[in-house]
Amino acid sequence: MPQDNKTAQPPAPRYTDPFSALRTEMEQLFDNFSFGHFPGFARPAAGLTTQGAMMPNVDVRENDKQIVIEAELPGIEEKDVSVTLHEGLLTVKGEKKFEKKEEKEDYHMLERRYGSFTRSMRLPDTADEDNIDARIDKGVLTVTVAKKPGAQTKERKIEIASS
């Protein structure tokens, strides 16, 4: 019987997703862009997938007169949402409760889904904290924050001098 004198081979390289690093970089770029204008806005925790945790989609836009915050809250009733303001920090809290029960002769089904969330945003100094409106319509919470009179900034061009 011939003797095998082969040396140990290194293990075969593991497959790695070539787009993983690009995907991570793009997600960070979008996070930085989305939250860069409103730095006090809480970022969702990465990988938040445990049951009972939810993070609604939130859009923030601003014009000369107001700041508008919209949060998608499908299936959440108005009584289960609160909007508070404390020392310039606007906080939206909510809880989703869903239960479906079905009983037939040959089976019994009980389905429950639930989750809670908290999102906070530091309002800019231009916000009029005494002039805030919140309403829910078709699963979308809209919080409108007026800006203080005179806080509307006018854009002006700054001349650049050459050296």
Tokens of 67: 């700041």
In tens, the pLDDT along 55-108 reads: 788 899 998 899 999 999 887 889 999 999 998 999 999 888 777 778 888 877
Multiple choice CATH, 53-147, 2.60.40.790, 2.30.31.20, 2.40.33.20, 3.30.200.20:
2.60.40.790
Residue 10 has pLDDT above 90, yes or no: no
- Segment 118-143 shows an average pLDDT of 92
What global pTM score does this model have?
0.56
Domains of the chain, by residue range, sit at 53-147
Q: State the DSSP code for 78.
A: G
**Residue 149 has what pLDDT?**
83
In tens, the pLDDT along 116-126 reads: 888 888 998 88
Distance of CA 16 to the CA centre of its chain: 29
